[in-house]
Amino acid sequence: MVRYGKEHKAETRRRIIETAGRRFKRDGIDGSGVSTLMKDAGLTNGAFYAHFESKDDLVTTAIADQLKVQAENVVAQAAPGRAGIEQIVRGYLSPQHRDNLGDGCPNAALLDEIGRCTDTTRQAYTDGVLVLIDGIASRMAPEAPSSARVKALGLLGLLAGTLQLARALTDRQLADALLEQGVNNALALLDADQRV
Amino acid sequence: MVRYGKEHKAETRRRIIETAGRRFKRDGIDGSGVSTLMKDAGLTNGAFYAHFESKDDLVTTAIADQLKVQAENVVAQAAPGRAGIEQIVRGYLSPQHRDNLGDGCPNAALLDEIGRCTDTTRQAYTDGVLVLIDGIASRMAPEAPSSARVKALGLLGLLAGTLQLARALTDRQLADALLEQGVNNALALLDADQRV
DNA sequence: TCTATGGTATGGCGAACGTAATCCAAATCG
DNA sequence: CGATTTGGATTACGTTCGCCATACCATAGA
């Protein structure tokens, strides 16, 4: 077994990606400096460029990683079919998720900032989100028509936007009510979809 | 009496607020420096602090202004009742709006960043968005039950999230399809609401 | 002309990204 | 098994750019 070899560097790289993902979600991409990101990983800023070409390189990698993890969680943890979707929706639009930026959905935390990123980053985002989307779509329409993907994207837009709005409001009661409304909206769309 | 006339300074301030609103929406809050913001207004950075206490002060003011203008546009331009809502929804989830950051909705452009702002800024956002929301709510349920406000917030969340998602995707055809799906979703919610 | 006012020009200070020069521990080889 | 090599990490630095402040100037009204 290699002791110092490839595993060491790969593990360090992984740690940077994971802690950076959390930091980006909490403080934003522009709001997170390289030296802070490295301190989060227990390193100093100079080591950064042995792992990534640039901050943008890390941003792209971290976003892809966040979406991958989220997709795995969806696939692994949620029940199949409509029951799984309802489970996902209720967990997503919960006060716990609203109040936990770091462990939460990267879409809700970063979506408008991602829209301003480089094409490379947005491409990685697009690829990553489609994997997540397919995990959701398979539960919305098991027969999987081509429109299922678009419907799942529509659902994700609703979820992310509602959560962002709940996070931005200072009135917590109103934010709570909005989350409930969001759950009702999401479920209503699913039911309307099945009726057609 | 005042030398330059009150109008002059007030007009300069207004110009800064308006150009800053556009810049924030295009480049983000963290992505916009004070000297850039002032250059946009045709001034140099030093003059900034004759008009605002700090960048945060401008951020708060600009967000409030953006929401005020948006609320006025909604009230002024959209027809009353359900027809007005449909008009708003179709305009909001249009490719034109998606491709025009600077003139677009401040919620879609800045929502997740606003969630990370100071309490003061978030309070100003909350106050401002509620005015906008009431303009929408009055068209959703003319009898105006207390839940109309929450329903309108739910709709705004759907609209903003869907538009953000459409902006982040690199696949334009998919983004177009998502916008259409968003329109259908929004209208379905309105109809479901009326049936109850 | 005198003075208040709005704006410019300039600068301090810190943080940002990125690049070395150096260090130290593990891996390899004679 | 000791010397050498390798490579990940540290420290330090350069440059740029961020926010914020102030000394000065130009203008317009009294």
User: Which chain A residues are closer than 8 Å to B28 by Cβ?
Assistant: 30, 112-113, 116
Nearest CA in chain B to A26: B116
Q: Do B164 and A115 touch (CB under 8 A)?
A: yes
Q: How many domains does chain B have?
A: 1
User: Which residue carries 């953000």 as its tokens?
Assistant: B164
Q: And the tokens for B8?
A: 């002059």
For residue A112, give the nearest of B110, B177, B188 by CB distance.
B110
Cα-only R_g, chain A = 18
d(CA B53, CA A90): 42
B23 inside domain: no
pLDDT at B5: 55
For residue A10, is it within any domain?
Answer: no
DSSP string, chain A: --SSSHHHHHHHHHHHHHHHHHHHHHH-STT--HHHHHHHTT--GGGGGGT-SSHHHHHHHHHHHHHHHHHHHHHHHSPSHHHHHHHHHHHHTSHHHHT-STTS-HHHHHHHHHTTS-HHHHHHHHHHHHHHHHHHHHHH-TT--THHHHHHHHHHHHHHHHHHHHHH-S-HHHHHHHHHHHHHHHHHHHHHHHH-
A130 → chain B, closest CA residue: B169
Residue B102: inside a domain: yes
Mean pLDDT of B38-54: 93
Mean pLDDT of A109-129: 98
Protein-covered nucleotides on strand C (Cβ within 7 A): 3-11, 15-21, 26-28
Does residue A156 belong to any structural domain of this protein? yes
Query: Which DSSP category does B4 fall into?
Result: S
> What does the pLDDT average to over A56-73?
97
Residue A144, pLDDT score: 57
In a domain, residue B63? The reply is: yes
For residues B107-113, give the mean pLDDT: 98
Question: What's chain B's average pLDDT?
Answer: 92
> Which percentage of chain B shows pLDDT scores above 90?
81
- Chain B neighbors of A114, CB-CB under 8 A: 168
Task: Specify the amino acid at residue A38.
Answer: M
- Band of residue A142 on the pLDDT scale cut at 50, 70, 90: low
Supply A139's token pair.
């539960």
Average model confidence (pLDDT) across chain A? 93
Among B118, B83, B98, residue whose Cα is nearest residue B172: B98
Q: What is the mean pLDDT of residues B182-194?
A: 91
In strand D, the nucleotides that come within 7 Å of a protein beta carbon are 7-13, 17-23, 27-30
Which residue approaches D23 most closely, CA to C1'? B46
What H or E segment, with its residue span, contains residue B78? none
Residue B141 included in any domain: yes
Q: By the 8 A CB rule, do B102 and B26 touch?
A: yes
Parent domain of A177: 54-195
Does position B6 have pLDDT exceeding 70, yes or no?
no
Q: Is residue A126 part of a domain?
A: yes
Q: What is the pLDDT of residues A25-46, one digit of tens each?
A: 999 999 999 999 999 999 999 9
Q: How far is B66 from chain A (nearest CA, A)?
A: 15
Query: Is the residue at A118 inside a domain?
Result: yes
DSSP state of B56: H
In this model, does residue A143 exceed pLDDT 80? no
Long-range contacts of A70-76 (CB under 8 A, 24+ apart): A70/A105, A70/A106, A70/A132, A71/A128, A71/A131, A71/A132, A71/A135, A74/A132, A74/A135, A74/A136, A75/A135
- CA distances (Å), B116 to each of A101, A108, A173, B21, B30, in order? 10, 12, 19, 17, 11
Can you give the pLDDT at residue B2? Answer: 42
Q: How far apart are CA A165 and CA B156, in angstroms?
A: 8
Distance from CA of A26 to the nearest CA of B (A): 8
Instruction: Report, as an integer, the average pLDDT of B175-183.
Output: 98
Q: Kindly report the CATH number assigned to the domain that includes residue A179.
A: 1.10.357.10
User: Is the Cβ–Cβ distance between A183 and A152 less than 8 Å?
Assistant: no
